[in-house]
Amino acid sequence: MKNIKQISNELGVSKSAVHKKLKTEPLKSAIEKHTSFMGNKLYLDNYGENILKVTFNKKSLNNFSEIYDMVYEIDKCVDNIDDMVVEVDKAVDNVDNMVDDLTNNLVDEIDKVDDLTTNFISSLQKQIDLLTTQNENLWNENSRLTDKVLEQSERLLSLTEQAQKLAENAQTLHAMENVKPQLTNGKKRSLFNIFSRKK
């Protein structure tokens, strides 16, 4: 993890420029999960640092925006699936409670049973069987949705890794663009010196 001062030094910009960039969208939302405070200093993890560095390279901004949009859409899908799983869990809990209540009722009725209540007990047992079947169906649905969440998480991880690779490629390109003018200037000076000596 690095603090803002360390990152600004690496980028060759001021701390205030970095803080200003961190307050703009979509970067603010994208990097939020990758920041933490130690004392009064803001730190970014490696992923957050890479995202921030990419935004300082103008050529990478379009790629970053596209990747961010894809990740955002996947996050929304995962959130929707999570919400569905929560709803299924609630339904399962409700069914479990109903089964428990009906079972308790059945036990109470068995204590008072006589010939007139036999049909009533049979009816309760059918309801319990029906609710148990529904409960099993809900558990199966819950399992299917959990598998879907895992699949989406794996896709999100893959996209995150691709985004990191793009960020590293962008940094490499940026570094190469900075080195190229220096090499060109050096060659011009050498030729100039050669022609100067001949005269």
This prediction's pTM: 0.30
Element (H, E) at 109: helix 58-111
**pLDDT at position 181:** 58
Average pLDDT over residues 43-69: 70
Residue 196 within a domain: no
Convert the pLDDT of each residue in 11-55 to its tens digit. 888 888 888 888 887 777 877 888 888 888 888 888 888 877 777
32, 121: one domain: no
CA separation, residue 14 to residues 17, 19, 20, 71 (Å) = 5, 9, 10, 29
The whole-angstrom distance between residue 51's C-alpha and the CA centroid of its chain comes to: 14
76, 26: one domain: no
The confidence band for 73, taking pLDDT boundaries of 50, 70 and 90, is: confident
Is the pLDDT reported for residue 183 higher than 70?
no
Is the pLDDT reported for residue 68 higher than 70?
no
87, 109: one domain: yes
Token readout for 95 is 């069914």
Under 8 Å between Cβ of 146 and 110: no
Residue type for 59, please? K
Convert the pLDDT of each residue in 83-140 to its tens digit. 889 999 899 999 899 989 988 888 777 777 676 777 788 888 999 999 899 989 989 8
First to last CA, the chain: 58
Interhelix angle 4-11/15-22, nearest 10 degrees:
110
Q: Note down the domain range covering 27.
A: 1-56
Residue type for 81, please? I
Q: What is d(CA 8, CA 14) in angstroms, rounded to the nearest whole number?
A: 6
5, 102: one domain: no
Q: Is the dihedral angle over the CA atoms 166, 168, 170, 176 positive or is it negative? A: negative
114, 158: one domain: yes
